[in-house]
Amino acid sequence: MELQFVWLSCTSLERHNNEEDMSEKILLRSGRLIDPSRHIDVVTDILIVDGRIDSIQEKISADKQTREIDLTGKIIAPGFIDIHVHLREPGYEHKETIQTGTLSAAYGGFTAVCCMPNTNPAIDDESIVTFIQTQARLANDGIVDVYPVGSVSKKREGKSLAPIAELVNAGAIGLSDDGAPVFDAQLMRRALEYAMMYNVPIMQHCEIPELAHGGVMNEGIISTELGLPGIPGVAEEIMIARDLILAEYTNARYHVCHMSTAKAVDLVRQGKKKGIKVTSEVTPHHFTLTEEIVRSYDTNTKMNPPLRTKDDIEAVKQGLQDGSIDVIATDHAPHSLDEKDVDYVQAPFGIVGLETAIGLAMVELVEQKYLTIAQLIEKFSTNPRKIIGKEIRIAEGEAANVTFIDPDVQWTVETSKFKSKSKNSPFNGRRLKGKSIGIMNHSKIMMY
Cα 51 to Cα 53: distance, rounded to the nearest angstrom: 7
What backbone phi and psi angles, to 5 degrees, belong to 348?
-75, 155
- Asked if 423 and 104 count as a contact pair (C-beta separation under 8 A), the reply is no
Cα 49 to Cα 61: distance, rounded to the nearest angstrom: 14
- Asked if 423 and 337 count as a contact pair (C-beta separation under 8 A), the reply is yes
What backbone phi and psi angles, to 5 degrees, belong to 405?
-130, 135
Cα 144 to Cα 105: distance, rounded to the nearest angstrom: 7
Cross-strand partners of 45: 57
Q: Which amino acid is at 245?
A: I
Among the options 178, 331, 341, 343, which is catalytic? 331
Query: Which H helix or E strand runs over 445?
Result: strand 444-447
Cα 358 to Cα 355: distance, rounded to the nearest angstrom: 8
End-to-end CA distance of the chain: 11
Cα 52 to Cα 398: distance, rounded to the nearest angstrom: 6
Q: Mark whether 331 is an active-site residue.
A: yes
Q: What DSSP state is assigned to residue 214?
A: T
What is the set of active-site residues?
331
